[in-house]
Structure 1
Amino acid sequence: MQGSTKSPKKAAQKQEPYHVIHKLPPGDTPYVRAKHLQLVEKDPEAAIALFWKAINVGDRVDSALKDMAVVMKQQNRVEEAIEAIKSFRDRCSKQAQESLDNVLMDLYKKCGKLEEQIELLEQKLRMIYQGEAFNRKPTKTARSHGRKFQVTIQQETSRILGNLGWAYMQQTNYATAEMVYRKAQTIDPDANKACNLGLCLIKQARYGEARSVLEDVLHGKFCGSNDPKSRNRAHELLEEVEPWQSDAVFPSTSEISLEDCFFELMKQSSPHRTRRLPIFEEISPFRDQLAC
């Protein structure tokens, strides 16, 4: 009878340290014990208590605050997580601020805080405008589903504007959302934002313009036009337009000036400049009308 042989993969795994197998940091600090409770013992409440301790004693504060907020979100302690980030982010490094903003944005979305989302997104746009984003570099390395890729300032600006447009959509402030989406499309156009722009126009009963934008998606004029999800959404929105006349003429905000190219101003600006971003100047009349 032949003895059983173990696969090389299992044999190698047996030789690996415990913390490597469980994807834990090495050591026996409060942060390490918190991660063990979170990932191995699946005890989120005990993990949160140790994350608090790690923050208070200065043990990997960047990671401890972010991880604690994520666990709190999973436990539906969203308001508490928001307050924790606001209270303790000044203890974190400059490099951690962007990832904390991303966690904070997810928390705002989770509890429907639209004004807070808008304020944070506008703040991120100001940082780009003043040249403070990406550690003053033209690109940054991002990660998604385990893959690394480069993101340019233009792509990030368009992404933020897209999120800002969606927040205005949730407020039913479609005129402002349209202006923001049009600005985003001049910087880095894509099919998803085109569909959202089409929806803005539909909500304003500007069916002819909406049809034109959505047909451009189906004709492959945008990045991502071949994505089945975007194409299906464009088809669904066109079905909403179908009962209405497509040749009616409606006033279009696309004729509103989008002068002062965002990036040219960004290059010319200094960190002490107080002038508002062009996009804020353009959307202010719509926000003021909504407030009235």
Structure 2
Amino acid sequence: MRRESMEGSSKKTSPRNKENLFHVIHKVPAGDGPYVRAKHAQLVQKDPEAAIVLFWKAINAGDRVDSALKDMAVVMKQLDRSEEAIEAIKSFRRLCSKQAQDSLDNVLIDLYKKCGKIDEQIEMIKRKLRLIYQGEVFHGKPTKTARSHGKKFQVSVKQETSRLLGNLGWAYMQKLNYMAAEVVYQKAQMIDPDANKACNLGFCLMKQARFDEAQSVIQHVLEGRVPGSEDCKARKRAEELLQELESRQPIPDLSDALGFNLDDDFVKGLEQMINEWAPSRSKRLPIFEEISSFRDQLAC
């Protein structure tokens, strides 16, 4: 029995098992190519500069180009080299598979946000929404598998649409176009509501001096009537907005002074978006049917 136990222990600590355990712990792929060495430099050695050099080598060698380009851009962003990352994706995404393009678009959106390139961010988000409308995302499937912090989870088309609309609303807020942001956040909340977007919607209403509407939206968060209301950050922000609202001294709305209105923007109507984006074959998703009443709502 003692001998068998010792043999079992020997198997568990064999070099091969140790190597496999190392890859699992550090989330480093097996092998010895430039991409694997790049991930080792990034995750184990914590040397982002060396990782970038090796990611370049992986791309040039054709070694897991999809992952190498995306991972390199992420590391560049962490080093405040977002401009370089944008150019790298634009130059080399043609080498990547069709399946990788959606992920690269998401990385680009984050890079544009990091660089303050709001107009480019808006155009990219609109392009992704166009693809959703045309039924060309997720390869025709209702969900896709996403990964965050090493964990996999399923994302539906509905959730992805709401996420993109939320990002679009945030971008319009950065341009002080609160009217456009409000419309986008309203639609995002209709599709897949959450507390963070509700707070942003309340803020946009406040900036337009629509205090009663803003209070109603914010109260829904504080009363736990919006998904995600239990989140501490969302609740704290709602409380701060309510305090500002009660003081009736929000920051002045500058959208009129800057000439922003619905006629200037993509949000002139999401219905116009539908008319322009309608594909030759009818593949309109049900969530876009909700948007078709947008013009009627504006008229009310």
Q: Out of 101, 114, 117, which is 2:105 matched to? A: 101
Indicate yes or no: 2:192 matched with 1:188.
yes
- CA gap of 1:13–1:168, structure 2 versus 1, over 3 A, is farther
Judging changes above 3 Å, is the alpha-carbon distance between structure 1 residues 219 and 26 closer, same or farther for their aligned structure 2 residues? Answer: closer
Which residue matches 1:249? none
Mapped contact 1:214–1:238 kept (Cα < 8 A)? yes
Q: What are the within-5 Å matches in structure 2 for residues 74-223 of structure 1?
A: 74-223=78-227
The alpha-carbon deviation at position 163 of structure 1 amounts to: 0.7
Residue identity matched to 2:229: S
- Please list the CA deviations of residues 186-234 of structure 1 after superposition, one character each: whole Å capped at 9, or x if unmatched: 2112221111110001111111111111112223322122333222221
Q: 1:16 aligns with which of 15, 18, 24?
A: 18
SS of 2:154's equivalent in the other structure is strand
Contact 1:183 1:258 in 2 (8 A): no
Post-superposition offset of 1:282: 6.5
CA distance in 1, matches of 2:14, 2:120: 46
Q: Which residue of the partner structure matches residue 248 of structure 2? A: 244
Q: Which moved more, 1:222-231 or 1:78-87?
A: 222-231
SS of equivalent to 2:204: helix
Question: Match of 1:231?
Answer: 235
Equivalents in 1 of 2:67, 2:91: separation in Å?
15
Cα distance in 1 between the residues matched to 2:294 and 2:87: 32
Closer/same/farther in 2, CA of residues 244 and 86 from structure 1, 3 Å limit = same
Q: In structure 2, what is the Cα distance between the partners aligned to 1:232 and 1:41?
A: 38
State the TM-score, normalizing by the size of structure 1: 0.78
Please tell me whether the aligned partners of residues 270 and 294 of structure 2 are also in contact (alpha carbons under 8 angstroms).
no
Q: 1:85 to 1:204 in 2, by over 3 A?
A: same
User: Does the 8 A contact of 1:22 with 1:40 survive in 2?
Assistant: yes
Work out whether residues 130 and 270 of structure 1, in 8 Å CA contact, stay in contact via their aligned partners in 2.
no
| Native 8 Å contact 1:195 1:233 kept in 2 | yes
Q: Deviations over 1:138-182 (max 9, x none)?
A: 112223334333222111111110110001001111010001011
Q: Where does residue 257 of structure 2 map in the other structure?
A: none
Matches within 5 A, 1:37-56: 37-56=41-60
Q: 1:66: which partner in 2? A: 70
Pairs aligned (count): 262
Unaligned runs of 5+ in 1: 246-252, 284-292
TM-score by length of 2: 0.76
Shift of 1:32: 2.1
Preserved CA contact (<8 Å) 1:31 1:60: yes
CA distance in 1 between partners of 2:66 and 2:215 (Å): 47
Aligned counterparts of 1:149 and 1:282: Cα–Cα separation in 2: 32
State the 1:259 CA deviation. 8.5
Counterpart secondary structure, 1:140: strand
Contact kept in structure 2, 1:164 and 1:180, CA below 8 Å: yes
